[in-house]
Amino acid sequence: MIELKGVCPIAAMPFDLNGAIDYDSFRNFIRVMRPCHALTLFGIAGEFYKLSDREKVEIAEVFLVETKAMGIPSIVSVTSHATDLAVQEAQRWQEMGADTLMLLPPFFLKPAAAAIEQHIRAVAAAVHIPIMLQYAPEQTGVTIAPAVMQRLNEDFETLTYFKIESRPPGPYISDLVHRTNGRAKIFVGNAGFQMIEAFDRGAIGVMPGALMFDLYLKVYEQYHVGDRVAALQTHDVILRMLNHIRQDVEMIIAYEKRILQRRGIIATDVCRTPGYMPDSYYDRLFDELYEYTSAFFQPVATRMGG
């Protein structure tokens, strides 16, 4: 069983100019992400909510074949709202070869706390591979108390990992680490905005978008060799860009794709509609920030058309 830690980005979903999934770009994307500690499919930043059921199965097949070939641990998210469907989805990804599942609890119309816990328990009981519980109250509007997380961690050996992206995440991380005596293996989300604080509080990894994957890796490495000053300086480079493009979820998705395209990792920056529509000022500021940030990027291993 693979032990997860480190930088585990959310896979972007490339589309061609006609809005169809660009499988060549997706394969290239995975190959470029090879230095990362793991890769995650169907995170919120991966536009899973704009894919058909058939597309999700097809892209999962590609994802699992490619990550296995690259030796990258795979995380596949279970996003179905109905409990029975979530169980079937979890079992499908397990059968297809996922190393770990990430579970996004149901949130549409805000189910009761007991119903959410029952949903999580049903999925956890249905599979034998590790599960990461995603806690994203800002995006879902649903809160889960740390005591519930503790109870789930105690009751299910496979419910090992927790992705925390509340705002702020720090106190929640500290509380969960304390409640579980360090058993809970915590990743921080929120584009890695608070990744250094999260590491200080006991988190073992970060799950950002893939747009600046090499800089996230550099922060992680600098932090874990004890060079805190260098880690803070590199993190500042990331934050300068994030401070602009992370004002809205669809906004960061759109600009992430623009960065990935400019780096030669995917062929287009197309997002399926509805999506973010920047004005000329936002684009101009992005261009200025990209000129600064790109000076810190490492050359990618492969490039589209190169």
Higher pLDDT, 44 or 207: 207
* Mean pLDDT rounded to a whole number for the chain: 96
Q: How far apart (Å, rounded) are the C-alpha atoms in residues 132 and 251?
A: 26
pLDDT by residue (tens digit) across 134-143? 999 988 999 9
Q: How far apart (Å, rounded) are the C-alpha atoms in residues 289 and 277?
A: 18
Nearby residues of 108 by Cβ (< 8 Å), 6 or more positions away: 81
Whether the pLDDT of residue 106 is over 90: the answer is yes
Whether the pLDDT of residue 264 is over 90: the answer is yes
Instruction: Evaluate whether residue 299 is within a structural domain.
Output: no
Q: What tokens does 253 get?
A: 């998705």
Nearby residues of 217 by Cβ (< 8 Å), 6 or more positions away: 6, 7, 35, 36
The pLDDT value recorded for residue 1 is: 74
Q: How many CA atoms lie within 13 A of 145 on its CB side?
A: 6
Range of lowest pLDDT (42-46, 73-77, 81-85, 90-94): 42-46
Instruction: Evaluate whether residue 77 is within a structural domain.
Output: yes
Whether the pLDDT of residue 2 is over 90: the answer is no
The pLDDT value recorded for residue 192 is: 97
In this prediction, what percent of the chain has a pLDDT beyond 90?
A: 94
CATH number at residue 158: 3.20.20.70
Instruction: Evaluate whether residue 249 is within a structural domain.
Output: no
Q: Exposed e or buried b for every residue in 59-82, given b needs 16+ CB within 10 A? A: bbeebbebbeebebbbbbbbbbee
The pLDDT value recorded for residue 181 is: 96
pLDDT by residue (tens digit) across 46-75? 999 999 999 999 999 999 999 999 999 999
Q: What tokens does 255 get?
A: 């600009």
Domain of 55 in residue numbering reads as 6-213
The pLDDT value recorded for residue 302 is: 83
Instruction: Evaluate whether residue 270 is within a structural domain.
Output: no
Give the total number of structural domains in the chain. Answer: 1
Instruction: Evaluate whether residue 69 is within a structural domain.
Output: yes
The pLDDT value recorded for residue 57 is: 98
Instruction: Evaluate whether residue 125 is within a structural domain.
Output: yes
Higher pLDDT, 44 or 10: 10
Contact present, 28 and 63 (Cβ < 8 Å):
no
What are the C-alpha distances in Å from 72 to residues 69, 143, 158, 162? 8, 32, 20, 20
User: Which strand ranges, in their side-by-side order, compose the sheet holding 205-206?
Assistant: 6-7, 205-206, 185-188, 159-164, 131-135, 100-103, 74-78, 39-41
Instruction: Evaluate whether residue 200 is within a structural domain.
Output: yes
Q: How far apart (Å, rounded) are the C-alpha atoms in residues 253 and 278?
A: 12
The pLDDT value recorded for residue 305 is: 64
Whether the pLDDT of residue 265 is over 90: the answer is yes
pLDDT by residue (tens digit) across 248-260? 999 999 999 999 9
What band does 275 get if pLDDT is binned at 50, 70 and 90? very high
E-strand ranges in the chain read 6-7, 39-41, 74-78, 100-103, 131-135, 159-164, 185-188, 205-206
Whether the pLDDT of residue 301 is over 90: the answer is no
The pLDDT value recorded for residue 304 is: 83
Instruction: Evaluate whether residue 160 is within a structural domain.
Output: yes
